Amino acid sequence: MENISEEHACCCGENRNYDEADIPEILPAPEPSGLPNVALIGNANTGKTTLFNSLTGLRQHVGNYPGVTVTKYSGPLKLFHGEKIELTDLPGIYSLAATSKDERVVIDVLSGRMAKKGAPRPDAIVCVVDVNNLQRNLFLATQVAELGIPMVLVLNQIDVARRDGLKINTDLLRERLGIPVISVSARRGEGIDALKQAIADVLKNGNKMKTVSWNAGTRKAIETLRNGLSEEVSKRVSDAELQRVIFDVASLVANRLKGEDIEYIGELLKKARACIRDAGENPHSTEALQRYAFIREILAGVMHRGKDRTTVTSLVDKFLLNRVFGILFFLAAMWGVFWCIYALASFPMDWIDGWFSALGESIGAKLEGSPIFQSLVVDGIIAGVGGVLVFLPQILILFFFLGLLESTGYMARAAFLMDKLFGWCGLNGKSFVPMLSGYACGIPGIMGARTIEDPKARLATILAVPFMSCGARMPVYVLMCALLGRITNPTTATLVFIGMYFVGILVAVPVSWFYTKYILKSKTAPFVLEMPRYQLPRLRDIGLRVWQSGWEYTRRAGTIIFAMSVIIWALSYFPRNEATEERARTEFVAETAAAQNITLAESAKLLETAESAETPTAAQAELVSALSNKIGGAWMEDSYIGRFGKFCQPIFAPCGFDWRITAGVIGAFPARELIVSTLGITYSLGGDVDEESEGLYESMEKSTHADGTPVFTIPVIIGIMVFFALCGQCLAEIVVIARESSWKWAGIAWAQMTFLAWLGAVLCYQIGNLLA
């Protein structure tokens, strides 16, 4: 891990490739607003987003850039005299070396390549720099200036600069750059009106920033490259884009120019770079050398710093970055975040679950005359929507704490501490928080991986998060460990319960190593990260992030999860015929007669009386409920999902699963905790049972195979838990993986986790039987 230096700030993200086939189409192109479009650009940790929030407030629109999963934030901004503009917050980047998704989006937007898809080329740019790191931050500004777009330079955190004794001659800087230079404090709202006026002036006057005067070797390289292109291509490619082709190791523009004849472009690029080498310079370092020479010339006499003094940030870092105390504090902080996600969300999650259950009962009572429509509405639609929204509290709490840690500046320190721990398996320091969050819910954990800049490390993290045992797996563990405790003893059951939470991480780490080494083939690159100053969090900004993340989850995941829940309902409901019901009724009459030692006729009469009673006794109500559960179990067995469970049962036979467990595994695809209710239905106990239902335990204990051997032996019970510990968490998670990466990787994640889960269950059952 290393801080960003002056000469290498531009190289952040080089050598990172991203397959365009992995980028799904998320949203249709938005309708253009017709307003002047102004883009906000800057390095990470410069306060750019805080400034954007100050300017736009709650009038923000959250979506995605066309064709990519990079989030787009935009909003209207009212200037003076009633004039309005559309302000867009571009992703925070360190350079225009378009290798990461964020960098590629920025250069596409600024070059106008997204104009036809609804992301027009900006009419002006507001470049935000941290005034305390002015020389380094101006590197990006000089790159953007090459695009020839009118610009305003914003010197943010001017209040901190004053406190540290730093003085800036903005008039001299404005004169040398040729554009408005405005000092602001986005946190305090200082300089906002002056910035609005500067934006209005730039839109009117078209002020463009002075650019670097390249040396002869670089000018000849650009000229050589342009002269070698066809006239059609040369017309649509700017000098700024040609610079990216020459200077960058892995260039988006170079990949596009390869087009029809890859070898020809490759040879042309070699000739262009040879011009720089002939001048005695390296084509991959000459940009940084020439740009920083230009920046130092611009800043000569502009900055005046007082006597150096120890800052609060340096004092706090001595403790928080200490190899002992820093780790202890980090573990305590992460435990606190995890506890809050898990504990604080329980009440609103229970409330949401209870509210949807009550809604289902209320609407179900009004639809009793239409059983199919009743089941569709209650078990399909209401249960599907509830299954989406029940995880919303965890997501909101997670993003609140992520925003809190980021806004204070601690997140960068946490990433630094964890980088060495995860570096060997291809992950980096920022992978830890998403993986920790996965223990509460995999969905916010996967979404939390967005903070990882390296696309390969981000993808490896996304594939690792689902192995963490989320809250939805707890009902499975509770049910199986309670059953295990009845067979063995409570101590054994407790130890197994705790051990299940370590199974995922023990598999996730080697799987990540395998992916990064053999599939993604990513090399462990230096972890480049800028350490921001510590500061008090802005609750307004955190609140905006929480709201935006919650809405994005509901909008993205809700539609597909809802549709799939209805499909699963249909597969578990149909077909229904009278023959199945009559068979179940006949079996129930026989079972009742045997249980009460009466004749079949007496049993049938007893059931008929109970069903026709206007005010049934407790015994009669229990009898009718038992019959209903029996019929429900028969319908489940005869449903498409029940038939599919029997069809797949031979696959799960090496795990020791019978068709009921197999049907439960399949039926639990939308949400893993659904196996409890599915088992309740298949064992004729009804779908409203939970992991503490005594009747379910008794039925599972008595369950046998065709040869009379028990189904739920110790190896089978542990195998079921291992299967659920390693398989994908839920349908919502698969959808979110697809949204954050692609459907291809979502399919790969589901397939590999399902196989590992099956293999783990097989090993548990087979080895357990050998040792028994």
pLDDT recorded at residue 70: 55
Peptide bond into 654 cis (omega under 30): no
- Report percent pLDDT > 90 for the chain: 24
User: Which range, 198-212, 347-361, 558-572, is most confident?
Assistant: 198-212
Q: What is the pLDDT of residues 333-383, one digit of tens each?
A: 878 876 787 678 778 878 887 888 889 889 988 898 888 888 888 877 787
**Looking at per-residue confidence, does 418 or 643 come out higher?**
643
**Looking at per-residue confidence, does 295 or 498 come out higher?**
295
Q: What is the mean pLDDT of residues 70-91?
A: 82
Buried b (16+ CB within 10 A) or exposed e, 520-551: bebebbebbbbbbbbbeebeebbebbbebbbe
Q: Is residue 213 pLDDT above 90, yes or no?
A: yes
Q: What is the pLDDT of residues 680-723, one digit of tens each?
A: 555 544 444 444 556 567 777 777 776 778 888 999 999 999 99
Query: Which sign, positive or negative, has the C-alpha torsion 524, 526, 528, 534?
Result: positive
pLDDT recorded at residue 525: 57
pLDDT recorded at residue 488: 87
pLDDT recorded at residue 297: 95
What are the residues facing 671 on neighbouring strands? 730
**Looking at per-residue confidence, does 675 or 205 come out higher?**
205
pLDDT recorded at residue 243: 87
Using DSSP bridges, classify how beta strands 84-89 and 151-156 pair: parallel, antiparallel or unpaired: unpaired
Q: Which of 100-114, 124-138, 273-287 has the lowest mean pLDDT?
A: 100-114
Q: What is the pLDDT of residues 116-155, one digit of tens each?
A: 666 788 999 999 999 988 999 999 999 999 999 999 999 9
Q: Is residue 60 pLDDT above 70, yes or no?
A: no
Instruction: Pick the closest to residue 256 from 242, 270, 267 (CA basis).
Output: 242
Q: Residue 180: pLDDT band by 50, 70, 90 thresholds?
A: very high
Q: What is the pLDDT of residues 477-487, one digit of tens each?
A: 877 888 888 88
User: Which range, 216-225, 344-353, 734-743, is most confident?
Assistant: 216-225
**Looking at per-residue confidence, does 53 or 202 come out higher?**
202
Report residue 164 CA to chain centroid gap.
38
Q: Is residue 67 pLDDT above 50, yes or no?
A: no
Q: Encoding tokens for residue 65?
A: 């850039």
Fill in the DSSP letter of residue 377.
Answer: I
Q: What is the mean pLDDT of residues 453-457?
A: 76
Q: Residue 233: pLDDT band by 50, 70, 90 thresholds?
A: confident
Q: Is residue 490 pLDDT above 60, yes or no?
A: yes
Q: Residue 408: pLDDT band by 50, 70, 90 thresholds?
A: confident
Q: Residue 5: pLDDT band by 50, 70, 90 thresholds?
A: very low
Q: For residues 534 and 333, what is the distance between their CA atoms, to the nearest angstrom?
A: 16
Q: For residues 237 and 765, what is the distance between their CA atoms, to the nearest angstrom?
A: 63
- The SS3 of residue 550 is helix
- Report percent pLDDT > 70 for the chain: 82
**Looking at per-residue confidence, does 24 or 535 come out higher?**
535
Cβ neighbours of 494 (radius 10 Å):
13
Q: Is residue 171 pLDDT above 90, yes or no?
A: yes
- The SS3 of residue 128 is strand
pLDDT recorded at residue 442: 81
Would you say how long the chain is, in residues?
Answer: 772
Q: For residues 585 and 627, what is the distance between their CA atoms, to the nearest angstrom?
A: 7
Q: What is the pLDDT of residues 249-270, one digit of tens each?
A: 665 555 555 544 444 567 888 8
Q: For residue 724, give every residue at least 6 positions away whose Cβ sits within 8 Å of its Cβ, in sequence order, or none.
A: 473, 476, 477, 672, 675, 757
Instruction: Pick the closest to residue 15 from 406, 522, 413 (CA basis).
Output: 522
Q: What is the pLDDT of residues 639-655, one digit of tens each?
A: 888 888 888 889 999 99
Instruction: Pick the closest to residue 241 from 150, 113, 153, 65 (CA basis).
Output: 113
User: pTM of the entire structure?
Assistant: 0.65
Q: Which of 161-175, 366-380, 422-436, 683-697 has the lowest mean pLDDT?
A: 683-697
Q: Which of 42-51, 189-198, 307-316 has the lowest mean pLDDT?
A: 307-316
**Looking at per-residue confidence, does 415 or 25 come out higher?**
415
User: Distances from the Cα of 562 to the Cαs of 227, 496, 668, 677, in angstroms?
Assistant: 55, 34, 15, 19
Q: For residue 594, give every residue at least 6 positions away whose Cβ sits within 8 Å of its Cβ, in sequence order, or none.
A: none
Q: Is residue 613 pLDDT above 70, yes or no?
A: yes
pLDDT recorded at residue 121: 87
Q: For residues 132 and 157, what is the distance between their CA atoms, to the nearest angstrom?
A: 8
Rounded to the nearest integer, the mean pLDDT of the chain is 80
User: Which range, 113-117, 204-208, 459-463, is most confident?
Assistant: 204-208
Q: Is residue 422 pLDDT above 50, yes or no?
A: yes
